[in-house]
Amino acid sequence: MILQTTLSLAAAAAIINIWLAFRAGKMRMNTKIMHGDGGNPMLLQRMRAQANFVENTPFVLILVAAIEMTGKGGTWLAIVGSVYLLARLSHAFGMDKSEANPLRAVGFLVTALTLVGLAAVAVLIALGRF
């Protein structure tokens, strides 16, 4: 069984993670801060944007793979995963601002809804109700 949706989303997630790491790395080079955040708020925000991505994305990918393995996936699952990744990009750009902003809020909201939604679908599948 080839998990096309999972493979595609995982590949895209890897690229986004590399981009987030490069953003933090570039900030490190520009500020000459090699360890920690050095008290630099923007570096801390970029580090947290990547960390937040890494904290949430594995759960999404595991749920997508599990759902896809049951044969209950399809186009809707690819769309949900794609919207999730777009939301994570929104969150990363929103993290560059020190004040509350819609980019970060949308990123968080879509992340939370994706996790809850995929978890609910997984439970429904496990109970034989999906």
> Which residue in 56, 55, 37 sits closest to 114, CA to CA?
56
Structural domains of the chain in order of their starting residue, each with its CATH number:
4-126 (1.20.120.550)
Phi-psi region of 45 (alpha: psi -120 to 50; beta: other; left: phi over 0): alpha
Q: Considering the chain, what percentage of its residues have pLDDT values greater than 90? A: 99
What is the value of pTM for the model shown?
0.94
Return the residue matching tokens 């981009």. Answer: 19
How distant is the alpha carbon of residue 17 from its chain centre?
A: 9
**pLDDT value at residue 129:** 95
- Give per-residue pLDDT as tens, 45-102: 999 999 999 999 999 999 999 999 999 999 999 999 999 999 999 999 999 999 999 9
Among the listed residues 48, 45, 61, 78, the one whose alpha carbon sits nearest the alpha carbon of residue 13: 61
Enter the tokens of residue 101.
């902003």
Residue 113 tokens read as: 């809804």
Distance CA(38)–CA(33), nearest Å, equals 6
Whether 36 and 30 have beta carbons less than 8 Å apart is answered as no
Helices (H), the chain: 4-31, 41-69, 75-94, 102-126
Residue pair 21/46 in contact by the 8 Å Cβ criterion = no
> How far is Cα 50 from Cα 74, in angstroms, rounded to an integer?
29
